[in-house]
Structure 1
Amino acid sequence: MNFRRFIITITVALLSVEAISINHDKVEPIPQPEPVTVSEKAAVKFKPELTIGKGTCASFPAVNTAGETSGGLKGSGGTGGCKVSLLGSQVYGRAQWYNDVWAIMYAWYFPKGFWDASPFWRHDWANVVVWVDNPAAENPKVLGISLSKSSDRYNKEVPARLANGNTPVVTHYNRGLNTAALMSSSTSSGESPLDLIMWEQLTDAARASLNDKENFGRSDVPFSDENFPGRLEKAWPF
């Protein structure tokens, strides 16, 4: 085995080691880097505002730079343990062309999953896909948005309701006899936007942990390598 192949083998082995799960309130968010690429600048420009509806958990970071993942919380006890994320939270992003439209997915993690306004399982994700004409344009425009209402179903808005012409405002809320979902508004919430970390800005360890479907129970990471293409297909609004 030559040296280069040895290094690659060791790297893959290290990333394949089962990620460490830590308490949900000990995962530190990753600071938002300065955007450099066209994709990163567009993602920051259209970063949504998230508000939390009554009776649901606040969003929390899912993974840290070391690849340690949130252990989540048992699906019981209402919003106990998840009303506030004292370390701050995170919005995750991933973008690519899809059917000649630029798709930016923004995703949030929650330590409990809700059904009929009650917590039922450990871990949950919600996401919105913002469809943009061209991120490299001088003034890129939002063509529509798709808001998750379950793991792989979306409410679709064309045209999109936006605050100040650029910002999707979404609320994570409980629905009767259904899972928690996102709904949109055209009025700014006044909430400070969370730090955004794009897929390519994550550390190798963090990406490996998000790609490991064993880390988040029944709740799939919507922007993982395995799930991202299928979610865009489900979210397509045109």
Structure 2
Amino acid sequence: MNLRTITVATLATLLTVIGAISIGHDKVQPFPQPEPVTVSEKTAIKFKPQLNINFGCGVYPAVNAAGKTNGGLKGTGGVSGYSYLYPTTGAGDFHDLIMWDQLTDAARAALNTTDFGSAKVPFSDDNFSEKLKNAWPF
């Protein structure tokens, strides 16, 4: 074995350990919606939103059951920073819904530890309580 092979193997191992290696967005298999069991799960399914995406970003999973995260998508258009929300027009589509506790341990760990740059996972252990507190209108 030469020095180059050892260096590449060591670097690949280190990147894997620190979570810097990701898989393509089209390689992440989404979680299927499990049958709801608890009252919370049944309520979440009953009131899950319909998403009507006319243009812009679609819905893509960020993590698979093994805890591998996607590398994101590179934008092809301008970035306006504006979000369009028209909740009373267009029925939209239902997408499978999975609760945090229904994710695998590996998936939860990946969402808790992966560095997504400036994007922060809103429902991670570190962020959820603060996001929920800020959403409370009273």
Judge same fold: TM > 0.5, yes or no. Answer: yes
Question: Residue 183 of structure 1: CA displacement?
Answer: 1.8
Aligned match of 2:25: 24
Residues 52 and 90 in structure 2, CA contact (< 8 A), matched pair in contact too: no
Q: Choose between structure 1 and 2: higher helix proportion.
A: 2
CA deviation map 1:208-232 (0-9, x unaligned): 0100141x11100000001101111
What 5-or-longer segments of structure 2 have no aligned partner?
1-16
> Letter of the aligned partner of 2:68 in structure 1?
E
Match of residue 198, structure 1, among 81, 99, 120: 99
Give matches, 1:140-219, under 5 Å.
Answer: 179-181=81-83, 183-187=85-89, 189-191=91-93, 193-214=94-115, 216-219=116-119
Give matches, 1:2-151, under 5 Å.
Answer: 17-19=17-19, 20-54=21-55, 56-74=56-74, 76-78=75-77, 118-119=78-79
Change in CA separation of 1:234 and 1:18 when aligned onto 2, cut-off 3 Å: same
Structure 1 stretches (4+) deviating beyond 3 angstroms? Answer: 17-20
1:194 and 1:35 map into 2 onto residues whose CA distance is 15
Bigger Rg over Cα: 2
CA deviation map 1:131-159 (0-9, x unaligned): xxxxxxxxxxxxxxxxxxxxxxxxxxxxx
Question: Residue 186 of structure 1: CA displacement?
Answer: 3.1
> Letter of the aligned partner of 1:230 in structure 2?
E
Change in CA separation of 1:73 and 1:190 when aligned onto 2, cut-off 3 Å: closer
> Letter of the aligned partner of 2:95 in structure 1?
L
> Letter of the aligned partner of 1:234 in structure 2?
N
What 5-or-longer segments of structure 1 have no aligned partner?
1-16, 79-117, 120-175
Task: For residue 51 of structure 2, give the secondary structure of its aligned residue in structure 1.
Answer: strand
> Letter of the aligned partner of 1:218 in structure 2?
S
Change in CA separation of 1:182 and 1:208 when aligned onto 2, cut-off 3 Å: farther
1:237 and 1:53 map into 2 onto residues whose CA distance is 30
Q: Choose between structure 1 and 2: higher strand proportion.
A: 1
Task: For residue 52 of structure 2, give the secondary structure of its aligned residue in structure 1.
Answer: strand
Change in CA separation of 1:34 and 1:190 when aligned onto 2, cut-off 3 Å: same
CA deviation map 1:154-193 (0-9, x unaligned): xxxxxxxxxxxxxxxxxxxxxx5xx2425242355142x1
> Letter of the aligned partner of 1:35 in structure 2?
P
- Higher RCO (C-alpha under 8 Å, 6+ residues apart): 2
